[in-house]
């Protein structure tokens, strides 16, 4: 349990920029959902923080890295405030570039599934559980956001383009790279790019995951 | 905080078989709810994992046993994948044996409330909080499943046969047995059997818990 | 990570009385929501426990203070049982004094945002994250209650008097007091009183937080 320092995949400053960019995009998506639901400025801020930092906080709690980085690094904590402020004033403009946001969100998804897997591995987890925590890092914040805002969690929806699967692939590839001692800036970039591209392609082409065998033609009996 | 190794109540291999059986049954129940809600294969798998492992993960986080066993033991992690795969293909058959599933789920409930209490006690908690965490182990995964799938959590529903109460009894008996130094394979089996039988009887005879005093005849003003 | 003992702001026995009073009031609010939703006695008890202790448990998990105080101090654990029992039998009377409950709840809010911030700071967090955890302590239990009972979380609702903002102010003042070495019984009481009074004034005068810029006149497109 005396873990090494979590690894930095890329050059220190580059990684910080990437981290904060991913956090900013996730936060903007959370703030935008709050605006659509007509939440007030507090709700917008809370949903931005939860969406951006929730996945990493869950991962850090599960691997014993407390207090989580989100609570010790002011950049992590402050970035969602910026995103919430921006969306508070400029939400019509932000709505208009939502397809651009979707692409940036895909970049966050790709980045965090790789970073999350590497951090969990550095804390001594085996490759498969580390990959599971990488996926949690990438999609956990969004799941918390959806639960708080009373949406069906994106990670469970069959009627949306696949979201969790690209993260699963990116995390799996990362775990394999680490296991075979091939993990470095170049291969990490390749894993991020692969998960990112897969998600963007899924969005563009409307890829969906199969529902239960012989049930694909049915519709949900539930309220969704 | 330097806990002893969590105790094994039964012979090592027997306990592993029981653990995995309980996890399998909980996972099947989670996967089946996902199929009914028409979630895709990713949603089915996630809901199976959360239902089966969620209670134990919450307990492990609360007692400081991180990373949780669910993330370090591949058997724990892999078993819900098996259950999800089975339900994905065979859900009509699984639906047909749901009353059998209910009985198996009751077995998981009985088993996990006893195991969870014993593990929390081994980590230095007092008997009453240890029993509370035993109940959490038994019902926490189902509560997470219901929150994610936007159901009223089973643990709160008055219109269903009592579910949490048998776990509460099993955990309480376990805590008393430990406190009076009477906890062993035989008495543990008795506690599991008692909680299990109570739940099965509640199902068969439609036992429900009382609602608030002088309100039992009313119906909910809410959407349930 | 070897934290000092969490500080006691007030005289030991006074602080215990205040803690338990705050827990009792939060628990009563949770139990009352359960009664309104027609949950059974188990659901009433669970919702009372979660509402009263949830915020502190989340904070303790995030700062690594496990097992959380809620699981090691029987007074913390038992007080919600008392509140649940009282509400179970006397809910019509409790309903009638709900405006009094709102005032007591405001007292709990003020108390816990200050105590929570001080405890997080004692565990080595910087002032801003410590204040964030103080807010979490104050509003986290209510958020968990609302998620379990399928309500829109109070912390996000724009159509209610501001709830999170007074806690945010109280926590921020506390963090500033600690940072400038001015934190003591007198200033802590002032911070508690300020947050409490702000919330009571918000209730009396119907203060609400602004919604997103140029959207204040709209109504939510969602189900609320």
pLDDT of residue B215: 65
Residue A19 has pLDDT above 80, yes or no: yes
Q: Enter the tokens of residue C131.
A: 């204040």
Residue of A106, A142, A137 lying closest to A121 (CA atoms): A137
pLDDT of residue C215: 64
CB neighbour list of residue B2: distance below 8 Å, 6 or more residues apart: none
Q: Enter the tokens of residue B149.
A: 């799938």
d(CA C43, nearest CA chain B) in Å: 4
pLDDT of residue A7: 59
Mean pLDDT of C79-106: 85
Note whether C59 and C116 are within 8 A (CB): yes
pLDDT of residue A6: 56
Give me the percent of chain B exceeding a pLDDT of 70: 89
Least confident among A107-121, B12-26, B152-166:
B152-166
Q: CB contact, 8 Å: B67 with chain C?
A: no
Residue B1 has pLDDT above 50, yes or no: no
Residue of B58, B170, B193 lying closest to B117 (CA atoms): B170
Mean pLDDT of A7-28: 81
pLDDT of residue A178: 93
Backbone torsion region of residue C8, taken as left when φ is above 0, otherwise alpha when ψ lies between -120 and 50, otherwise beta: beta
d(CA B170, nearest CA chain C) in Å: 15
> Is B156 in Cβ contact with C39 (below 8 Å)?
yes
d(CA A133, nearest CA chain B) in Å: 9
Grade residue C224 by pLDDT with cuts at 50, 70 and 90. Answer: very low
pLDDT of residue B19: 86
CA distance C224 to C221: 8
- Please, what sign has the CA dihedral across residues C35, C37, C41, C43? negative
Residue C20 has pLDDT above 80, yes or no: yes
> Is A89 in Cβ contact with C164 (below 8 Å)?
no
Residue B27 has pLDDT above 90, yes or no: yes
Mean pLDDT of A167-176: 96
pLDDT of residue B223: 37
Q: CB contact, 8 Å: A154 with chain B?
A: no
The pLDDT tens digits of the residues spanning A54-107 come to: 999 999 999 999 899 888 888 898 999 999 999 999 888 877 877 777 888 898
Give the range with max mean pLDDT: A77-86, A212-221, B209-218: A77-86
| Residues in chain B within 8 Å Cβ distance of A119 | none
Q: CB contact, 8 Å: A63 with chain B?
A: yes
CA distance C103 to C22: 11
| Residues in chain C within 8 Å Cβ distance of B224 | 37-38
Mutation site for B-interface testing, chosen from C30, C41, C49, C67 by largest number of B Cβ within 10 Å: C67
- Which runs of consecutive H residues, i.e. helices, occur in C73-149? 74-96, 98-122, 127-148
Q: CB contact, 8 Å: A62 with chain B?
A: yes
Least confident among A183-187, B138-142, C205-209:
C205-209
Mean pLDDT of the residues in chain C? 85
pLDDT of residue A216: 52
Note whether B181 and B145 are within 8 A (CB): no
Residue A1 has pLDDT above 50, yes or no: no
Least confident among A45-59, A168-182, B17-31:
B17-31
Chains touching chain B at 3 or more Cβ pairs under 8 angstroms? A, C
Give me the percent of chain B exceeding a pLDDT of 90: 46
Note whether B51 and B144 are within 8 A (CB): yes
Q: CB contact, 8 Å: B43 with chain A?
A: yes
Q: CB contact, 8 Å: C67 with chain A?
A: no
Mapping DSSP to helix (H, G, I), strand (E, B) and coil, where does residue B160 land?
Answer: coil
Tokens 């980590």, located at residue: B123
CA distance A30 to A146: 9
Residue A218 has pLDDT above 70, yes or no: no
The pLDDT tens digits of the residues spanning C158-199 come to: 667 788 999 999 999 999 999 999 998 899 999 999 999 999
Residue A9 has pLDDT above 70, yes or no: no
CA distances from C15 to A128, C104, C109, C123, C144 (A): 46, 16, 15, 19, 25
pLDDT of residue A214: 67
Residue C123's φ and ψ, nearest 5 degrees, are -90, 15
DSSP annotation of A155:
G
Least CB–CB distance from A219: residue in B38, B67, B87: B38
Question: Quick one: B205 exposed, middle or buried, by C-beta within 10 A (0-12, 13-18, 19+)?
Answer: exposed
């Amino acid at each position: 349990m005396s873990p090494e320092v979590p690894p930095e995949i890329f050059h220190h400053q580059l990684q910080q920029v990437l981290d904060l960019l991913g956090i900013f995009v996730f936060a903007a998506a959370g703030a935008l959902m709050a605006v659509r639901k007509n939440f007030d400025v507090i709700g917008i801020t809370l949903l931005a923080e939860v969406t951006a930092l929730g996945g990493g906080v869950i991962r850090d709690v599960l691997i014993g890295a407390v207090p989580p980085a989100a609570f010790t690094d002011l950049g992590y904590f402050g970035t969602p405030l910026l995103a919430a402020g921006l969306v508070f004033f400029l939400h019509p403009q932000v709505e208009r570039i939502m397809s651009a946001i979707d692409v940036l969100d895909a970049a966050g998804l790709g980045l965090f599934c790789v970073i999350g897997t590497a951090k969990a591995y550095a804390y001594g987890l085996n490759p498969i559980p580390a990959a599971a925590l990488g996926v949690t890092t990438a999609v956990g914040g969004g799941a918390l956001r959806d639960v708080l805002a009373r949406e069906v969690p994106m990670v469970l929806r069959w009627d949306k383009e696949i979201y969790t699967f690209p993260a699963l692939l990116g995390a799996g590839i990362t775990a394999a790279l680490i296991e075979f001692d091939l993990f470095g800036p170049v291969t990490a970039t390749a894993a991020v790019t692969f998960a990112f591209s897969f998600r963007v392609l899924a969005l563009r082409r409307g890829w969906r995951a199969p529902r239960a065998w012989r049930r694909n033609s049915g519709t949900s009996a539930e309220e969704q």
